[in-house]
Amino acid sequence: MDIKIATRGSKLALWQANDFASLISKHIPGAAPLIVPVMTDGDRIQDRPLHEVEGKTLFIKEVENALLAGKANVAVHCVKDYHPETPPEFRIAAYLPRESDRDLLVTNTPVSSLDELPDGAVVGTTSQRRIFFLKKRRPDLQIKMLRGNIDSRLRKLNAGDYDAIVLAQAGINRLGIDPGHFVVLDDDTMLPAVGQGALVVEVCTSNPEMADLLKQFNDTPTQVCVEAERALVSGLSANCKSAVGANCRFTDTGKITLCGHVGHPGTLEEMSDIRTGNADQAIELGKAMAAGFIARGAARLLDE
Protein backbone atom coordinates (compact mmCIF):
# COMPACT_ATOMS: atom_id res chain seq x y z
CA MET A 1 0.00 0.00 0.00
CA ASP A 2 1.43 3.37 -1.05
CA ILE A 3 1.07 6.12 1.54
CA LYS A 4 2.31 9.37 0.04
CA ILE A 5 3.08 11.98 2.69
CA ALA A 6 3.03 15.60 1.51
CA THR A 7 5.15 18.03 3.49
CA ARG A 8 7.06 21.27 3.26
CA GLY A 9 10.62 20.84 2.12
CA SER A 10 12.34 22.42 5.12
CA LYS A 11 14.73 20.29 7.17
CA LEU A 12 12.34 20.30 10.16
CA ALA A 13 9.25 19.48 8.07
CA LEU A 14 11.09 16.62 6.36
CA TRP A 15 12.23 15.30 9.75
CA GLN A 16 8.64 15.33 10.96
CA ALA A 17 7.33 13.58 7.84
CA ASN A 18 10.08 10.96 7.94
CA ASP A 19 9.46 10.32 11.62
CA PHE A 20 5.80 9.66 10.84
CA ALA A 21 6.79 7.48 7.87
CA SER A 22 8.86 5.34 10.23
CA LEU A 23 5.79 4.83 12.42
CA ILE A 24 3.80 3.74 9.40
CA SER A 25 6.50 1.26 8.35
CA LYS A 26 6.64 -0.14 11.86
CA HIS A 27 2.93 -0.51 12.54
CA ILE A 28 1.20 -1.02 9.17
CA PRO A 29 2.28 -4.26 7.48
CA GLY A 30 2.87 -3.88 3.76
CA ALA A 31 2.77 -0.09 3.83
CA ALA A 32 5.21 1.78 1.60
CA PRO A 33 5.44 5.39 2.84
CA LEU A 34 6.81 7.92 0.37
CA ILE A 35 7.72 11.54 1.19
CA VAL A 36 6.40 14.15 -1.25
CA PRO A 37 8.17 17.50 -0.61
CA VAL A 38 6.19 20.59 -1.60
CA MET A 39 7.54 24.13 -1.92
CA THR A 40 5.14 26.59 -0.28
CA ASP A 41 4.69 30.34 -0.62
CA GLY A 42 5.60 30.67 3.05
CA ASP A 43 9.02 29.23 2.25
CA ARG A 44 9.46 31.38 -0.87
CA ILE A 45 8.54 34.71 0.77
CA GLN A 46 11.35 35.63 3.16
CA ASP A 47 11.44 39.42 2.92
CA ARG A 48 8.19 40.19 4.75
CA PRO A 49 6.53 39.21 8.03
CA LEU A 50 3.76 36.66 7.59
CA HIS A 51 1.12 39.04 8.89
CA GLU A 52 1.83 41.32 5.91
CA VAL A 53 0.94 38.54 3.46
CA GLU A 54 -1.61 35.75 3.87
CA GLY A 55 -0.45 34.43 7.20
CA LYS A 56 0.73 31.05 8.39
CA THR A 57 -1.56 29.11 6.04
CA LEU A 58 0.97 30.06 3.36
CA PHE A 59 2.94 27.11 4.74
CA ILE A 60 0.17 24.58 4.12
CA LYS A 61 -1.83 25.76 1.11
CA GLU A 62 0.28 24.00 -1.52
CA VAL A 63 0.59 20.90 0.68
CA GLU A 64 -3.19 20.67 0.89
CA ASN A 65 -3.45 21.27 -2.86
CA ALA A 66 -1.21 18.21 -3.33
CA LEU A 67 -3.78 16.18 -1.36
CA LEU A 68 -6.68 17.50 -3.41
CA ALA A 69 -4.81 16.81 -6.68
CA GLY A 70 -4.06 13.22 -5.65
CA LYS A 71 -0.29 13.76 -5.59
CA ALA A 72 -0.35 12.62 -1.97
CA ASN A 73 -2.92 11.05 0.32
CA VAL A 74 -1.56 12.21 3.70
CA ALA A 75 -0.05 15.46 4.98
CA VAL A 76 1.84 16.28 8.17
CA HIS A 77 1.54 19.84 9.52
CA CYS A 78 2.68 21.79 12.54
CA VAL A 79 -0.47 22.79 14.40
CA LYS A 80 1.03 26.27 14.79
CA ASP A 81 0.73 26.66 11.00
CA TYR A 82 -2.63 24.87 10.71
CA HIS A 83 -6.16 26.27 10.37
CA PRO A 84 -8.00 27.19 13.60
CA GLU A 85 -10.93 25.27 12.07
CA THR A 86 -10.32 22.33 9.75
CA PRO A 87 -11.75 23.03 6.26
CA PRO A 88 -14.64 20.73 5.25
CA GLU A 89 -12.63 19.06 2.47
CA PHE A 90 -10.08 17.80 5.00
CA ARG A 91 -10.05 15.97 8.30
CA ILE A 92 -7.47 15.38 11.00
CA ALA A 93 -6.69 11.67 11.17
CA ALA A 94 -4.34 11.93 14.15
CA TYR A 95 -2.65 14.27 16.57
CA LEU A 96 0.92 13.08 17.08
CA PRO A 97 2.56 13.23 20.55
CA ARG A 98 3.45 16.79 21.44
CA GLU A 99 6.99 18.00 21.93
CA SER A 100 7.78 20.97 24.19
CA ASP A 101 5.46 23.94 23.67
CA ARG A 102 8.05 26.39 25.03
CA ASP A 103 9.93 29.21 23.34
CA LEU A 104 13.69 29.62 23.69
CA LEU A 105 15.59 32.86 23.94
CA VAL A 106 18.83 32.03 22.09
CA THR A 107 21.66 34.48 22.73
CA ASN A 108 25.19 35.30 21.65
CA THR A 109 26.42 35.49 25.24
CA PRO A 110 25.20 33.61 28.32
CA VAL A 111 22.21 35.07 30.18
CA SER A 112 19.94 33.47 32.75
CA SER A 113 16.77 35.37 31.79
CA LEU A 114 15.28 37.85 29.36
CA ASP A 115 15.94 40.55 31.94
CA GLU A 116 19.71 40.08 31.59
CA LEU A 117 19.86 41.16 27.95
CA PRO A 118 21.72 44.48 27.61
CA ASP A 119 19.76 47.70 27.24
CA GLY A 120 18.55 48.18 23.66
CA ALA A 121 19.48 44.63 22.63
CA VAL A 122 18.39 43.57 19.12
CA VAL A 123 16.05 40.58 19.23
CA GLY A 124 14.93 38.72 16.12
CA THR A 125 11.33 37.61 15.59
CA THR A 126 8.33 38.47 13.41
CA SER A 127 5.71 36.78 15.61
CA GLN A 128 3.21 39.32 16.95
CA ARG A 129 2.76 37.17 20.06
CA ARG A 130 6.49 37.09 20.77
CA ILE A 131 6.83 40.81 20.02
CA PHE A 132 4.10 41.58 22.55
CA PHE A 133 5.69 39.60 25.37
CA LEU A 134 9.16 40.95 24.61
CA LYS A 135 8.02 44.57 24.58
CA LYS A 136 5.82 44.11 27.64
CA ARG A 137 8.74 42.80 29.69
CA ARG A 138 11.50 44.86 28.05
CA PRO A 139 10.23 47.98 26.21
CA ASP A 140 13.84 49.01 25.52
CA LEU A 141 14.50 46.06 23.20
CA GLN A 142 14.85 46.59 19.45
CA ILE A 143 12.74 44.04 17.56
CA LYS A 144 14.13 43.12 14.15
CA MET A 145 12.43 40.94 11.53
CA LEU A 146 13.66 37.36 11.39
CA ARG A 147 12.48 34.79 8.85
CA GLY A 148 13.95 31.55 7.50
CA ASN A 149 14.57 28.03 8.76
CA ILE A 150 16.23 27.23 12.08
CA ASP A 151 19.72 26.91 10.63
CA SER A 152 19.58 30.24 8.80
CA ARG A 153 18.22 32.00 11.88
CA LEU A 154 21.04 30.65 14.02
CA ARG A 155 23.59 31.69 11.38
CA LYS A 156 22.26 35.26 11.47
CA LEU A 157 22.52 35.26 15.26
CA ASN A 158 26.08 33.92 15.19
CA ALA A 159 27.03 36.49 12.54
CA GLY A 160 26.11 39.24 14.99
CA ASP A 161 22.98 40.47 13.20
CA TYR A 162 21.07 39.99 16.47
CA ASP A 163 21.86 39.88 20.17
CA ALA A 164 19.18 37.25 20.65
CA ILE A 165 16.49 35.41 18.72
CA VAL A 166 13.39 33.50 19.79
CA LEU A 167 12.86 29.94 18.54
CA ALA A 168 10.40 27.16 19.36
CA GLN A 169 12.05 24.53 21.53
CA ALA A 170 10.21 21.73 19.71
CA GLY A 171 12.12 22.24 16.46
CA ILE A 172 15.45 22.42 18.25
CA ASN A 173 14.71 19.19 20.11
CA ARG A 174 13.46 17.31 17.07
CA LEU A 175 16.48 18.17 14.97
CA GLY A 176 18.91 17.57 17.83
CA ILE A 177 20.45 21.02 17.44
CA ASP A 178 22.66 22.56 20.11
CA PRO A 179 21.72 26.26 19.93
CA GLY A 180 24.53 27.30 22.26
CA HIS A 181 23.44 29.84 24.86
CA PHE A 182 19.71 29.76 25.52
CA VAL A 183 17.01 30.30 28.14
CA VAL A 184 13.72 28.39 28.24
CA LEU A 185 10.99 31.02 28.56
CA ASP A 186 8.35 30.16 31.16
CA ASP A 187 4.66 31.01 30.95
CA ASP A 188 5.09 34.17 33.03
CA THR A 189 7.57 35.49 30.47
CA MET A 190 6.06 34.25 27.20
CA LEU A 191 2.94 32.13 26.79
CA PRO A 192 3.34 29.70 23.86
CA ALA A 193 1.56 29.83 20.53
CA VAL A 194 -1.59 27.81 20.07
CA GLY A 195 -0.63 24.23 19.18
CA GLN A 196 3.11 24.89 19.47
CA GLY A 197 5.08 21.63 19.50
CA ALA A 198 2.18 19.54 18.16
CA LEU A 199 1.71 17.91 14.74
CA VAL A 200 -1.43 16.85 12.90
CA VAL A 201 -1.88 14.19 10.24
CA GLU A 202 -4.34 15.43 7.63
CA VAL A 203 -6.25 13.51 4.94
CA CYS A 204 -9.01 14.36 2.49
CA THR A 205 -12.55 13.93 3.79
CA SER A 206 -13.19 11.87 0.66
CA ASN A 207 -10.68 9.27 1.89
CA PRO A 208 -12.23 7.87 5.12
CA GLU A 209 -10.35 4.58 4.71
CA MET A 210 -7.02 6.37 5.11
CA ALA A 211 -8.32 8.29 8.11
CA ASP A 212 -9.42 5.04 9.76
CA LEU A 213 -6.05 3.44 9.04
CA LEU A 214 -4.07 6.29 10.56
CA LYS A 215 -6.19 6.98 13.66
CA GLN A 216 -4.12 4.36 15.53
CA PHE A 217 -1.37 6.98 15.76
CA ASN A 218 -3.55 9.51 17.57
CA ASP A 219 -2.25 10.72 20.93
CA THR A 220 -5.33 11.51 23.00
CA PRO A 221 -3.71 13.84 25.58
CA THR A 222 -2.26 15.93 22.75
CA GLN A 223 -5.61 15.97 20.96
CA VAL A 224 -7.47 17.11 24.06
CA CYS A 225 -5.11 19.97 24.85
CA VAL A 226 -4.66 21.17 21.29
CA GLU A 227 -8.39 21.09 20.57
CA ALA A 228 -8.95 23.37 23.58
CA GLU A 229 -6.30 25.79 22.32
CA ARG A 230 -7.61 25.72 18.75
CA ALA A 231 -11.16 26.36 20.00
CA LEU A 232 -9.88 29.46 21.78
CA VAL A 233 -8.18 30.95 18.74
CA SER A 234 -11.12 29.97 16.50
CA GLY A 235 -13.58 31.63 18.87
CA LEU A 236 -11.50 34.79 18.79
CA SER A 237 -11.26 34.71 14.96
CA ALA A 238 -7.57 35.34 15.54
CA ASN A 239 -4.80 34.99 12.96
CA CYS A 240 -1.05 35.60 12.72
CA LYS A 241 -1.68 39.36 13.03
CA SER A 242 -2.94 38.68 16.54
CA ALA A 243 -0.85 38.39 19.69
CA VAL A 244 -2.60 35.35 21.15
CA GLY A 245 -0.89 32.89 23.47
CA ALA A 246 -2.28 29.72 25.02
CA ASN A 247 -1.42 26.45 26.59
CA CYS A 248 -3.49 23.59 27.91
CA ARG A 249 -2.16 20.95 30.27
CA PHE A 250 -3.50 18.05 32.29
CA THR A 251 -3.73 18.44 36.05
CA ASP A 252 -2.88 15.76 38.60
CA THR A 253 -6.59 15.01 38.92
CA GLY A 254 -7.08 14.28 35.22
CA LYS A 255 -8.75 17.58 34.43
CA ILE A 256 -7.29 20.17 32.04
CA THR A 257 -6.25 23.74 32.69
CA LEU A 258 -6.32 26.21 29.80
CA CYS A 259 -4.34 29.45 30.04
CA GLY A 260 -5.07 32.11 27.45
CA HIS A 261 -3.76 35.57 26.66
CA VAL A 262 -4.63 38.31 24.19
CA GLY A 263 -2.39 41.33 23.74
CA HIS A 264 -1.84 44.30 21.43
CA PRO A 265 1.82 44.74 20.37
CA GLY A 266 1.34 48.46 19.81
CA THR A 267 -0.50 49.63 22.92
CA LEU A 268 0.59 46.67 25.09
CA GLU A 269 -2.97 46.29 26.38
CA GLU A 270 -3.67 42.72 27.43
CA MET A 271 -6.18 40.23 28.81
CA SER A 272 -5.54 36.86 30.45
CA ASP A 273 -7.69 34.02 31.69
CA ILE A 274 -7.25 30.58 33.27
CA ARG A 275 -9.98 27.93 33.22
CA THR A 276 -10.11 24.32 34.38
CA GLY A 277 -12.53 21.67 33.15
CA ASN A 278 -13.03 18.05 32.18
CA ALA A 279 -10.95 16.60 29.36
CA ASP A 280 -14.06 15.60 27.42
CA GLN A 281 -15.16 19.25 27.39
CA ALA A 282 -11.92 20.64 25.94
CA ILE A 283 -13.49 22.34 22.93
CA GLU A 284 -16.24 23.84 25.06
CA LEU A 285 -13.61 25.16 27.48
CA GLY A 286 -11.76 26.92 24.67
CA LYS A 287 -14.96 28.37 23.25
CA ALA A 288 -16.03 29.64 26.66
CA MET A 289 -12.69 31.35 27.20
CA ALA A 290 -12.93 33.01 23.78
CA ALA A 291 -16.45 34.21 24.55
CA GLY A 292 -15.22 35.64 27.84
CA PHE A 293 -12.44 37.52 26.09
CA ILE A 294 -14.84 38.90 23.48
CA ALA A 295 -17.24 40.03 26.23
CA ARG A 296 -14.34 41.91 27.84
CA GLY A 297 -13.63 43.74 24.57
CA ALA A 298 -10.84 41.61 23.12
CA ALA A 299 -11.85 42.57 19.58
CA ARG A 300 -10.11 45.92 19.92
CA LEU A 301 -6.87 44.15 20.80
CA LEU A 302 -7.12 41.78 17.86
CA ASP A 303 -7.92 44.37 15.20
CA GLU A 304 -4.92 46.11 13.64
Please tell me which residue in 78, 225, 240, 248 is annotated as part of the active site: 240
81 tagged catalytic: yes
Kindly state whether residue 299 falls inside one of the protein's structural domains: no
Are 36 and 155 in the same domain? Answer: no
147 tagged catalytic: yes
Are 85 and 121 in the same domain? Answer: no
255 tagged catalytic: no
Which domain CATH number covers 282? 3.30.160.40
pTM metric for this prediction: 0.91
80 tagged catalytic: yes
Kindly state whether residue 304 falls inside one of the protein's structural domains: no
Are 91 and 108 in the same domain? Answer: no
215 tagged catalytic: no
- Residue 28 domain boundaries: 2-96+198-218
Please tell me which residue in 8, 129, 135, 174 is annotated as part of the active site: 129
Q: Is the dihedral of CA 145, 147, 153, 158 positive or negative?
A: negative
Kindly state whether residue 193 falls inside one of the protein's structural domains: no
Are 269 and 139 in the same domain? Answer: no
- 189-238 pLDDT per residue, tens: 999 999 999 999 999 999 999 999 999 999 999 999 999 999 999 999 98
Are 175 and 140 in the same domain? Answer: yes
91 tagged catalytic: no
- 257-289 pLDDT per residue, tens: 999 999 999 999 999 999 999 999 999 999 999
